[in-house]
Structure 1
């Protein structure tokens, strides 16, 4: 009876280790894939942000800025 309990325990522990090991491998691969995707998103966002900084100002803002730069003449 003791030997059968020992064999069942070893079989159960072995099965658990195999399941946990495959689960850990699968979780690690999913984690790596998620990290790659997040990196890709961050690179896209930083590229879009740098492009936004390089775009010229809208014409309305340029015209408004020119009007502010021109000093007004006194009408006394």
Structure 2
């Protein structure tokens, strides 16, 4: 009886370990894919933001070079 319980316990723990191992591998794969997507989105946003900042800097420099009128 004791040997049977031991064998069943080992078989059960082994099955759980095998399932968890594959689950961890799948989770790691999904996590890496998500990180790649997030990094890509951040790079796109960074590029868009830098383009907008350059555009606004050009607009501001164009306004500063124009003569200012006194409103006295």
CA-CA distance at 1:54 after TM superposition: 1.9
Max Rg structure:
1
TM-score when scaled to structure 2? Answer: 0.78
TM-score when scaled to structure 1? Answer: 0.74
CA RMSD of aligned residues (A): 2.5
Gap runs ≥5 in structure 1 = none
Residue correspondence of structure 1 range 1-76 to structure 2 within 5 A: 1-55=1-55, 56-57=58-59, 62=63, 66=66, 69-71=68-70
CA-CA distance at 1:4 after TM superposition: 1.0
Determine which structure has the larger helix proportion and give its number. 2
State the 4+ residue runs in structure 1 displaced beyond 4 angstroms: none
